[in-house]
Chain A
Amino acid sequence: MDKSSSQRFDPLTRTWWLKHRFFKLYMVREATVLPLVFFILCLLAGFVSLLQGADSWQGWVAFMGSPIVLALNLLALAASLFHAATFFVLFPRVMPLRIAGHRLPDNMIVAGQWAGVLAVALLFFWLLGRA
């Protein structure tokens, strides 16, 4: 007798990720790409309209100012921060850093990454302020 003949197997359903909190959180993390895609598309449209001339550019600026688009882009900002937060925590586990044979503590690496984000943001605002 073959043992597999009497076995029972429950295949995963499409709603597997609704089973518990951890999976839902994972799905949220994955879903953060959607608002980000929207943001990128906006950015692209902006470039195109800039090339097409002043009228087109004004139209884009107006479009960007509309409350719905503003809200969506705020959402994208929140999503990217959330994604960064989850990713930064994972990073030290993917690339454990070592100095002189000792593993750097995880929270130091995470803090380092946030410091990086802050630095880039400051640099950006500084450039913006000078322009």
Chain B
Amino acid sequence: MSGDKIGTDNLNTKLISVKRYLPDRSTEPYWQSFELPVDDSTSLLDALNHIKEQLDSTLSYRWSCRMAICGSCGVMVNGIPKLGCKTFLRDYDGEIRIEPLAHFPVQRDLVVDMEIFLEHLAAVKPYLIDDNPVKPFDPAAPQTYQQSPAQLARYKQFANCINCGLCYSACPQFGLNPEFRGPAAIALAHRYNLDSRDHGKKQRMAELNRHEGVWSCTFVGFCSKVCPKHVDPAAAVNQGKVEAAKHTLIALFKG
């Protein structure tokens, strides 16, 4: 049927340059180029795997699912943050330049330290908070909450984040100040704030309603452009600003 669309017959070669950093050998990064055979279905991750298996086994990078769901394989492709497994070489002409994700400390080659990203995630209490449930969970008579499809739809988009960190590499405010909680963490907080089952918004506001929370954002918006899962974290952050402002006002009136 569609067998001709893809396959080994469209074989050609491409030039990939990778920014290498091997701290046990040198404190300076350097560029290394590889020429490799590609076809229409070759992803950047396939290319990196090819390099590792055939050309230079010392190249280090992260990957796992190779289907754009585990969030491991983010890199800069010609200066834009992308998932390696969802980037296809067919879409590029000329040399392709690969660097580690921007704004994170580089551990080695294409591997960055994601620790700070995880700290930001954990800081916003990203779990369902319901301290006085109408019906506590009882394993003997387990009962779910009710949630209509419309209630689900309100937060669903923000629950689709795969924690790849691309949005942090796209965010100049995070680049200037790594203490900024950043797009994905705030989107996650927003996801729980919008969940009809949750009652933790007040607790999360302490994190969100401060400079390193939503107020560092100047709505550059690039985070949402690069997000591979259409989470639109910029929308979450800016809806968060409205919520935070409301929160401040209410606190003001309550004295």
Contacts and interface: CB of A to CB of B under 8 A. Distances in A.
B235 interface: yes
A16 B27 CA distance: 23
B221 interface: yes
A23 B218 CA distance: 12
Interface residues of B, number: 33
Interface in B219-255: 219-222, 224-225, 232, 234-235, 238-239, 241-242
Nearest to A30: B218
A11 to B, nearest CB: 8
Contacts of B105: 4, 7-9
Contact of A7 (B107, B175, B238): B107
A23 B113 contact: no
Given A3-B113, A12-B175, A20-B80, A93 B238 contact: yes
Interface of A: 3-4, 6-12, 16-17, 19-20, 22-23, 26, 30, 90, 93-96, 101-103
16 contacts: A4-B113, A7-B105, A8-B23, A8-B29, A10-B106, A16-B175, A19-B79, A22-B225, A30-B218, A90-B219, A94-B235, A94-B239, A94-B241, A95-B239, A96-B239, A103-B153
Interface of B: 21, 23-24, 27, 29, 79-80, 102-103, 105-108, 113, 150, 153, 172, 175-176, 218-222, 224-225, 232, 234-235, 238-239, 241-242
